[in-house]
Amino acid sequence: MISILRQRWLPLAVFVFLIGSVALYFLLDPHIPEERQTAENLQPVMSFDHAILVGRRAGEPQWELRGSNMVTDNGDVVIETLDELLLLRSGGAPYRILSSSGRWNAQDGILVLPNATTIEEEDGFRTEAGSLVWQRDDGLTVLEGDVRMLQDRTLVSSGRASFQPDSGMFTMFGDVEITWTEGDDDL
């Protein structure tokens, strides 16, 4: 009787032992990362040495971003070296935005330039700020941190401003100071 029970349970015991061993191996193996990579959480990574990104609305170019050392990060483009951003407008010279680096979120259409930033136009309009946030959809540009605008020898300063490139409307917020300058166009 004992030999008959051993013959029936022996294969089942071996099978359970093997399944348990494999399960323990995968649960306790230190080489398997805690967060397993799946198709849903893998992000493609792209890197550009020198690139020009062009944004269009209704087929017309709206903006051009020129930079180097760009890399994707969770859907954003990190611009380690920003050469310039041109905000194009029909019938007028583009606004040229200069900064050292930035981060572009293509899905939301938001560009953040966290460092010292300059906006220039051919007619002498020039603005400097500590940082800039530009929204692609409505063109709204928000400047913060010692904003200084110079045009036609008039210097306007404040801590925060907004700028609408399509209309050229520039609005300063907070304590606004206006100074009429003589001589050069330096801020």
With cut-offs at 50, 70 and 90, classify the pLDDT of residue 147.
very high
Whole-model pTM? 0.67
Could you tell me if 166 and 92 are in contact, meaning their C-beta atoms sit under 8 angstroms apart? no
Taking CA 111 as the corner, what is the angle to CA 79 and CA 166, rounded to the nearest 5 degrees? 130
Domain layout of the chain by residue ranges? 1-32, 47-180
The length of the chain, given as a count of residues: 187
Nearest CA to 123 out of 92, 80, 155 is that of 92
How far apart, in whole angstroms, are the C-alpha atoms of residue 27 and residue 170? 60
Give 36-57 pLDDT, tens digit per residue.
444 455 455 677 778 888 888 7
How far apart, in whole angstroms, are the C-alpha atoms of residue 39 and residue 7? 45
CA distances from 82 to 45, 93, 134 (A): 19, 20, 14
Give 83-126 pLDDT, tens digit per residue.
888 888 777 778 899 998 899 888 888 999 999 999 998 877 88
Number of helices (H), then strands (E), belonging to the chain: the values are 1, 13
How far apart, in whole angstroms, are the C-alpha atoms of residue 140 and residue 165? 7
Q: Break the chain down into helix, strand, coil percent, rounded to 5.
A: 15, 50, 35
Record: fold of 47-180: lipopolysaccharide transport protein A fold (2.60.450)
With cut-offs at 50, 70 and 90, classify the pLDDT of residue 185.
low
